């Protein structure tokens, strides 16, 4: 064994001892835990939990008309003179997320949140939403997205800012493309491709 290898091994052992002592001492020192403390990643997430990368694809249905609308304007645009881009409008949504583009396809979750028109010279929305999944092992887990949505662009990208359950420590991004838009009935179907890193 070269001296360099030996040193590496030595440091590795030193580090692992350190981890063990610090993890035991952190549980012993609970009485001294006041407000914030560092915690060993392995203790919280489990030794075998490696960070995963997932690609989710589903369709978002925003339905503002008919017997069962899924979203409602809760604040109309306050602009009387020029409301071309509905600046100031806030719409609250509880929109179905389905595996296919048809509303009748499998429901995988709901998109709960709001979008607000934030541009006076373009169609651009601030979107704040929790994607609450109900499908299989993802049932009960959620992904939170906060971003800017210039709806007339072919592809819009918004950041994933967090998640819960399966998606704890989530970070990533979502890409949106409009699948169909029916202005008469105010029904939009948008394809979501979400790339998310999580444990």
Ligand X SMILES: *[C@@H]1O[C@H](CO)[C@@H](O)[C@H](O)[C@H]1NC(C)=O
Give yes or no for a contact between 95 and 61, defined as CB atoms under 8 angstroms apart. Answer: yes
- The correct pick among 48, 121, 154, 184 for binding ligand X (CB under 6 A) is 121
Cβ-based neighbours of 194, under 8 Å, separated by 6 or more:
54, 55, 56, 57, 131, 143, 145, 160, 172, 173, 174, 175
Q: How far is the CB of 160 from ligand X (least distance, A)?
A: 22
Region 39-98 residues binding ligand X, contact defined as CB under 6 A: 82, 84
Tokens 């939170």 belong to 144
Q: How far is the CB of 187 from ligand X (least distance, A)?
A: 25
For ligand X, the closer CB: 100 or 140: 140
Q: Of 40-48, 125-133, 134-142, 161-169, which part binds ligand X (CB under 6 A)?
A: 134-142
Cβ-based neighbours of 9, under 8 Å, separated by 6 or more:
1
Taking CB under 6 A as the rule, does residue 140 contact ligand X? yes
Q: What is the largest CA-CA distance in the chain?
A: 81
For ligand X, the closer CB: 7 or 134: 134
Q: How far is the CB of 136 from ligand X (least distance, A)?
A: 7
Q: Of 13-21, 37-45, 132-140, 154-162, which part binds ligand X (CB under 6 A)?
A: 132-140
DSSP-derived pairing of the beta strands 71-75 and 90-98: antiparallel
Give yes or no for a contact between 196 and 169, defined as CB atoms under 8 angstroms apart. Answer: no
- The correct pick among 139, 152, 177, 185 for binding ligand X (CB under 6 A) is 139
Tokens 């001492």 belong to 25
Task: Kindly list the residues in this chain that would bind ligand X in the complex (CB under 6 A).
Answer: 82, 84, 121, 134, 139-140
């Amino acid at each position: 064994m070269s001296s360099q290898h030996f040193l590496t091994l030595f440091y590795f052992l030193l580090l692992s001892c350190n981890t063990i002592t610090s993890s035991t001492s952190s549980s012993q020192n609970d009485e001294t835990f006041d407000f914030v403390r560092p915690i060993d990643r392995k203790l919280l997430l489990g030794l075998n939990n490696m960070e995963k990368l997932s690609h989710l694809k589903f369709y978002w249905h925003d339905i503002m008309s008919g017997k069962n609308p899924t979203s409602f304007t809760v604040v109309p645009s306050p602009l009387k003179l020029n409301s071309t881009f509905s600046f100031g409008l806030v719409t609250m949504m509880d929109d179905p997320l389905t595996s296919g583009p048809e509303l009748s396809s499998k429901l995988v979750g709901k998109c709960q949140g709001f979008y607000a028109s934030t541009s006076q010279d373009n169609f651009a929305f601030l979107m704040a939403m929790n994607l609450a999944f109900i499908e299989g092992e993802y049932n009960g887990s959620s992904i939170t997205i906060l971003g800017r949505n210039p709806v007339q662009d072919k592809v819009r990208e918004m950041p994933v800012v967090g998640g819960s359950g399966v998606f704890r420590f989530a970070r990533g991004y979502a890409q949106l493309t409009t699948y169909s838009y029916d202005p008469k009935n105010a029904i939009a179907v948008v394809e979501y491709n979400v790339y998310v890193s999580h444990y």
